[in-house]
């Protein structure tokens, strides 16, 4: 995903993204205490998705190993 796509997707889901000091910070608009900071846009998308889905795919993500 690219920055614009991810930012738009996150906003549609009720989250805000912001780049600060080489990190991408995210927080839930109606609950600012729900937040995080990631290094890549992929990590941000994963973190937001995991929060939306109540972390039910985390174990799958840990066991998935991409072919390199």
Q: Residues 3-29: pLDDT tens digits?
A: 999 999 999 999 999 999 999 999 999
Cβ distance 32 to 41 under 8 Å?
no
Q: Residues 34-47: pLDDT tens digits?
A: 999 999 998 999 89
Cβ distance 28 to 47 under 8 Å?
no
pLDDT at position 63? 72
Measured between its terminal Cα atoms, the distance across the chain in Å is 19
| Mean local confidence (pLDDT), 46-62 | 81
Domain coordinates in residue numbering, the chain: 3-63
In the structure encoding, which two tokens stand for residue 29, read together?
């608009």
Has residue 1 got a pLDDT over 70?
no
């Amino acid at each position: 995903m690219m920055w614009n796509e991810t930012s738009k997707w996150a906003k549609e889901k009720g989250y805000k993204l912001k780049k600060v000091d080489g990190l991408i910070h995210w927080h839930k608009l109606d609950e600012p205490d729900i937040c995080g900071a990631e290094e890549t846009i992929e990590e941000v998308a994963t973190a937001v998705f995991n929060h939306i889905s109540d972390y039910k795919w985390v174990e799958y993500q840990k066991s998935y190993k991409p072919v390199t």
